[in-house]
Amino acid sequence: KGPGIHTKTLSPAGMKFFLQYVGCFFAFFSAGFLITSTWTDCWMVNADDSLEVSTKCRGLWWECVTNVFDGIQTCDEYDSIYAEHPVKLVLTRAMMITADILSGFGFLFLVLGLDCVKFLPDEPLIKLRICVASGVMLLIAGLPGITGSVWYAVDVYVERSSLLFHNVFLGIQYKFGWSCWLGMAGSLGCFLSGSLLTCCMYLFRGEEAQLHSAYSLRKGYSSAATVVTNVHLPSSQTATSKMYAVDTRV
């Protein structure tokens, strides 16, 4: 190193603080992407734009048609959820709803585990465990999310490719749309934030355990000192103090 050159490194506490907020950032957007993907209508979009005067999008719950000239959109909901639907649609719904619930709870748990949130301020070890638990929940949420979105996209691609291979033209051919891409992005974000919170935050468990034991020991010493002071206080001094307090009030 040359003279006058100083390098700054993050302390363990600063690194933990940084990882918490990076994980919280990705968890927030990942949960948002998954929820938006589940409840939007563009999982499939018509692929042949040159022959169509409208854009047709299919979601998990309804199908929408948008006129390319005036932008007017009309949507038709699918039949009741109890009606018979394709297996692809039913399984994708179930997996995406599961991913939404897990990622949402994972984000809420992570917020409670942040150091800046005044929840269990005297229990740093418990807050660290809450962060790790939220990371595990986000990792689990990424599994059904990526499975449902990728499987749906692959199924649409295979169906379209098979029609093109056999020279079958049904009037409308679909490709996977931006809602499907959001599902993939949200799932990958869950994996990233979950990995940060489980693998990296787990490295700080020894430091937090030491801080927790030091705090408990200091608290125990303080309580013991108070008890010892009260026990060894002479009775005459205690009586004199009470009499002085009474005289003062009078």
CB neighbours of residue 177 within 10 Å: 22
CB neighbours of residue 46 within 10 Å: 19
pLDDT band at 181 (very low <50, low <70, confident <90, very high): very high
Which residue has tokens 């206080």? 233
The order of strands in the sheet holding 44-46 is: 73-77, 62-67, 54-58, 44-46, 174-176
Q: Is the per-residue pLDDT at 189 higher than 80? A: yes
Q: Is the per-residue pLDDT at 212 higher than 50? A: no
pLDDT band at 23 (very low <50, low <70, confident <90, very high): confident
Residue 79 confidence (pLDDT): 65
* Nearest alpha carbon to residue 63 among 84, 41, 85, 81: 41
Per-residue pLDDT tens for 137-177?
Answer: 999 999 999 999 998 888 888 877 766 565 655 556 677 88
Cα-based distances in Å from 64 to 78, 117, 212: 11, 43, 56
HEC secondary structure over the chain: CCCCCCCCCCCHHHHHHHHHHHHHHHHHHHHHHHHHHHCCCCCEEECCCCCCCEEEEECCCEEEEEECCCCCEEEEECCCCCCCCCHHHHHHHHHHHHHHHHHHHHHHHHHHHCCCCCCCCCCHHHHHHHHHHHHHHHHHHHHHHHHHHHHHHHHHHHHHHHHHHCCCCCCCCEEECHHHHHHHHHHHHHHHHHHHHHHHHHHHHHHHHHHHHHHHHHHHHHHHHHHHHHHCCCHHHHHHHHHHHHHHHC
Q: Is the per-residue pLDDT at 204 higher than 50? A: yes
Region class of 120: left (phi > 0), else alpha (psi between -120 and 50), else beta? left
Per-residue pLDDT tens for 67-121?
Answer: 777 778 788 877 666 556 778 888 899 999 999 999 999 999 888 888 777 777 7
* Max Cα-Cα span within the chain: 108
